[in-house]
């Protein structure tokens, strides 16, 4: 199948996933009660989700822990079967055509390893060559390129179980990309990584998205991941899609709040002037000043210049809103 | 196909890394053989042998039986039930299923790799040392070849049965009790410890209807020349029938297991 640009590559319609969860009895005799009288609760992990992704897009799934992001990803890669609804990846149903689907996608689960635990990294990557039937030439080129960018040479001969998290995650990304997948699924790939490794990850992912138009689907809690990689954001919570659109729009509509923290030389006597600018709240503790404001109503520079006109500022930080805050705002917005 | 050979090689390599483990296991096997040989020596008179339903069994035959049974154990057995339980329990199954290889193929490759490791580092030394110590009865070339064919079939049967038990973890998350149950039934009815010759009538009828004796008892009887031409062919046919049945059941259970799967740990 030839994939042309701007073609729908992922199609999800009215997707549901439910599973049974055992409820344990509490207390001393709880274990015995569980034996005789077992209670189950039907959990809904994904509740009527629909979306489409075009080939070459980079989409971020965001939402709090347990929102259903990973479950959606696991259904897209063919690990889990949907309870009802449709999932199609390149026109195939992943769960029914697991092997065919797996050949054409790359997956990184941030908290698991797909490398072989007891053998050196180089051999583990070599297995990937046979697993995905990668042509020798392509394997060589990709190995050279990715091990260079990700800095894998130093520990190619070390058993995977002896690698540090950062080293292993870099290797995981390499393993997921060697076969030039059409779609790359990244489930919290940057979790627990330091800034340098995160940067390497992002630049490589951006690179394959821009150069090869590889479709990217990413779940993350890191706002920087999204800003640097994805133009489109799908917000999911309690198995529902709350928002699906451009990142700019999401931030404009629900994430325009910013927090400014200032280290002052002296205490402020009154905040009247600052409030007149239209900020939401001002708090002062000792010589630290915290101002929360909506950047659509007042710019950070207006606030700073106002303060600087009468006081000396030692240090200043402007923080953007956290994902969790955006989701809270989305909820408030839905309820009103 | 290449990938499965590579996976077997990988399993082989990862198992030879742990040398102390290999040495201790070898030592344990030797002790087990020694105990069994001592018991049979105490039970069977060295010159008259022992009369059974299938005729007279000599001490030398029983010692050979013990050695061959140990050898078959090293070739056919695997720890698949524990392995799959671990994969499900920890959620590692997710990373197996994103690979473009079949799950049963992955498990076969791993157990073949481990079997090769055990053949080289346990079977060969155990058989060499014990045949030097206790002596082993030789067989005709035809019987030896038939024995090997039947052991290979037996390996397939053992693999398929343990695979079915292993898949119960997709439903119950924990499956080691199934493993223990399987192992105990197998040990008794396969004749791996006590040959079916010595079974009382009722028990030997039960064994007759189960596939386990085809893994241990039948190939060893062929090696020892206890069964004739037609009987051998019938045994091999039975092995093939069991393999066919288990393959069908396995396919059906697997398709249901994957829809049952819940990945633990998010």
Condensed to tens digits (0 to 9), the pLDDT of residues B140-186 reads: 999 999 999 999 999 999 999 999 999 999 998 888 888 899 999 99
Q: CB neighbours of B23 closer than 8 A, spacing ≥ 6? A: none
Nearest to A114 among B7, B14, B99 (CB): B99
Q: Using pLDDT thresholds of 50, 70 and 90, give the confidence band for residue B21.
A: confident
Segment among A20-24, A229-233, B243-247 with least mean pLDDT: A20-24
A160 Cβ under 8 Å from any chain B Cβ? no
A41 Cβ under 8 Å from any chain B Cβ? no
CA–CA dist B10, A120 (Å, integer): 10
- The total number of structural domains in chain B stands at 1
Cα distances from B95 to residues A106, A143, A335, B90, in angstroms, run 11, 21, 39, 11
Nearest to A131 among B91, B99, B263 (CB): B99
Q: CB neighbours of B144 closer than 8 A, spacing ≥ 6? A: B223
Question: What are the structure tokens assigned to A171, written together?
Answer: 């290797």
In chain A, residues with a C-beta closer than 8 Å to the C-beta of B265 are 111
Arithmetic mean of pLDDT, B31-50: 90
Question: What are the structure tokens assigned to B163, written together?
Answer: 């695979």
Q: Which of A118, A227, A127, A109 is nearest to A169 (CA)?
A: A109
In chain A, residues with a C-beta closer than 8 Å to the C-beta of B100 are 99-100, 102-103, 131-132
Q: Using pLDDT thresholds of 50, 70 and 90, give the confidence band for residue B191.
A: very high
Question: What are the structure tokens assigned to A213, written together?
Answer: 């138009």
Residue with token string 């007759």: B208
pLDDT in tens, A86-110: 999 999 999 999 999 999 999 999 8
Query: Residue-wise over A62-100: b if at least 16 C-beta within 10 A, else e?
Result: bbeeebbbbbbbbbbbbbbbbbebebbbbebbbbeebee
**Dihedral-angle region of residue B148 (phi above 0 means left; psi in -120 to 50 means alpha; beta otherwise):** alpha
The average confidence (pLDDT) of chain B is 92
Nearest to B94 among A66, A99, A112 (CB): A112
- Pairs of CB atoms within 8 A across A/B: 73
Contact status, residue A130 vs residue B2, Cβ threshold 8 Å: yes
Arithmetic mean of pLDDT, B111-121: 93
pLDDT at A2 over 60: no
The average confidence (pLDDT) of chain A is 88
A134 → chain B, closest CA residue: B3
Cα distances from A266 to residues A27, A87, A263, A274, A285, in angstroms, run 57, 60, 9, 16, 11
Nearest to A131 among B100, B262, B265 (CB): B100
CA–CA dist B207, A20 (Å, integer): 39
pLDDT in tens, A162-195: 999 999 999 999 999 999 999 999 999 988 888 8
Nearest to A70 among B93, B100, B266 (CB): B266
pLDDT at position B266 is 65
SS3 at position B26: helix
Q: Which of residues 295-334 of A touch B (CB under 8 A)?
A: none
Q: Which of residues 97-116 of A touch B (CB under 8 A)?
A: 98-100, 102-103, 105, 107, 109, 111-114, 116
Arithmetic mean of pLDDT, A113-132: 92
Q: What is the ipTM of this complex?
A: 0.84
B98 → chain A, closest CA residue: A102
Determine whether the interchain pair B98/A81 forms a contact, defined as Cβ–Cβ distance below 8 Å. Answer: no
CA–CA dist A139, A77 (Å, integer): 23
Contact status, residue A171 vs residue A126, Cβ threshold 8 Å: no
pLDDT at B98 over 50: yes
CA–CA dist A148, A44 (Å, integer): 43
Domain containing B28 equals: 2-265
Nearest to A127 among B10, B102, B261 (CB): B10
Arithmetic mean of pLDDT, A270-280: 85
pLDDT at A320 over 60: yes
Determine whether the interchain pair A117/B14 forms a contact, defined as Cβ–Cβ distance below 8 Å. Answer: yes
A82 → chain B, closest CA residue: B259
Q: Using pLDDT thresholds of 50, 70 and 90, give the confidence band for residue A64.
A: confident
Determine whether the interchain pair B266/A114 forms a contact, defined as Cβ–Cβ distance below 8 Å. Answer: no
Q: Name every residue in B having a CB less than 8 A away from some CB of A.
A: 2-3, 6-7, 10, 13-14, 17, 91-95, 97-102, 258-259, 261-263, 265-266
First to last CA, chain B: 32
**CB atoms near residue A286 (< 10 Å):** 8
B101 → chain A, closest CA residue: A99
Report strand pairing: A8-23 vs A39-54. antiparallel
Query: Residue-wise over A4-40: b if at least 16 C-beta within 10 A, else e?
Result: eeeeebbebeebbbebeeeeebeeeeeeeeeeeeeee
pLDDT at A24 over 80: no
Sheet holding A39-54, edge to edge: A39-54, A8-23, A84-89
pLDDT at position A335 is 63
- Nearest CA-CA distance, residue B2 and chain A, Å: 7
pLDDT at position A1 is 47
Arithmetic mean of pLDDT, B67-88: 93
Q: Which of B91, B98, B170 is the mutation pick for testing A, counting most A CBs within 10 A?
A: B98
In chain B, residues with a C-beta closer than 8 Å to the C-beta of A132 are 100
Determine whether the interchain pair B259/A81 forms a contact, defined as Cβ–Cβ distance below 8 Å. Answer: yes
- Nearest CA-CA distance, residue A155 and chain B, Å: 18
In chain B, residues with a C-beta closer than 8 Å to the C-beta of A77 are 97-98
CA–CA dist B104, B102 (Å, integer): 6
pLDDT at B113 over 50: yes
């Amino acid at each position: 199948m030839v994939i042309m640009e701007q073609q729908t590559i992922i199609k999800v319609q009215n997707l549901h996933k439910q599973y049974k969860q055992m409820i344990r009895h509490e207390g001393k005799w709880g274990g015995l009660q569980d034996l005789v009288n077992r209670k189950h609760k039907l959990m809904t992990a994904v509740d009527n989700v629909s979306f489409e992704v075009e080939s070459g897009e980079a989409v971020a799934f965001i939402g709090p822990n347990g929102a259903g992001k990973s479950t959606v990803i696991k259904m897209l890669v063919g690990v889990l079967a949907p309870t009802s609804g449709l999932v199609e990846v390149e026109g195939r149903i992943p769960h029914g055509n697991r092997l065919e689907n797996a050949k054409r996608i790359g997956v990184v689960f941030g908290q698991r390893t797909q490398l072989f635990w007891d053998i050196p990294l180089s051999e583990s990557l070599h297995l990937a060559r046979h697993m995905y039937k990668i042509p020798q030439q392509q394997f060589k080129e990709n190995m050279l390129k990715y091990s260079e960018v990700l800095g894998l040479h130093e520990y190619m001969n070390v058993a995977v179980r002896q690698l540090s998290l950062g080293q292993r995650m870099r290797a995981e990304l390499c393993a997921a990309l060697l076969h030039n997948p059409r779609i790359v699924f990244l489930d919290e790939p940057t979790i627990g990584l330091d800034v340098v490794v995160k940067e390497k990850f992002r630049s490589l992912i951006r690179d394959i998205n821009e150069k090869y138009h590889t479709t990217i689907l990413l779940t993350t809690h890191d706002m920087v991941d999204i800003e640097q990689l994805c133009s489109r954001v799908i917000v999911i919570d309690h198995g529902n899609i709350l928002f699906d659109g451009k990142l700019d729009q999401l931030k404009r509509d629900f994430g325009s709040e910013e927090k400014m923290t200032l280290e002052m030389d002296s205490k402020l006597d009154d905040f009247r002037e600052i409030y007149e600018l239209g900020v939401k709240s001002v708090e002062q503790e000792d010589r630290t000043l915290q101002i929360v404001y909506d950047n659509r109503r007042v710019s950070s520079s207006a606030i700073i210049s106002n303060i600087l006109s009468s006081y000396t500022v030692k240090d200043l930080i402007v923080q953007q809103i956290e994902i969790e805050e955006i989701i809270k705002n989305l909820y408030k917005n839905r309820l009103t | 196909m290449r990938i499965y050979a590579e996976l077997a090689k990988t399993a082989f390599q990862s198992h030879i890394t742990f040398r102390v483990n290999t040495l201790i296991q070898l030592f344990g096997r030797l002790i087990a053989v020694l105990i069994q040989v001592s018991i049979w020596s105490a039970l069977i008179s060295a010159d008259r042998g022992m009369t059974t339903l299938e005729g007279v069994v000599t001490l030398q035959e029983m010692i050979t039986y013990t050695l061959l049974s140990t050898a078959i154990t090293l070739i056919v057995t695997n720890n698949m039930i524990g392995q799959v339980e671990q994969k499900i329990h920890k959620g590692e199954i997710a990373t197996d299923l994103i690979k473009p290889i079949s799950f049963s193929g992955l498990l076969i490759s791993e157990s073949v790799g481990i079997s090769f490791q055990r053949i080289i580092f346990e079977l060969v030394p155990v058989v060499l040392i014990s045949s030097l110590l206790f002596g082993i009865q030789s067989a005709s070339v035809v019987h030896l070849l038939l024995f090997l064919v039947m052991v290979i079939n037996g390996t397939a049967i053992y693999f398929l049965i343990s695979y079915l038990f292993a898949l119960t973890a997709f439903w119950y998350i924990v499956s080691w009790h199934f493993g223990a149950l399987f192992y105990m039934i197998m040990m008794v009815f396969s004749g791996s410890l006590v040959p079916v010759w010595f079974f009382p009538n009722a028990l030997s009828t039960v064994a007759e209807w189960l596939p386990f004796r085809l893994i241990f008892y039948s190939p060893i009887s062929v090696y020892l020349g206890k069964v004739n031409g037609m009987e051998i062919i019938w045994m091999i046919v039975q092995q093939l029938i069991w393999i066919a049945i288990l393959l069908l059941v396995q396919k059906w259970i697997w398709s249901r297991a994957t829809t049952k799967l819940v990945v633990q740990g998010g």
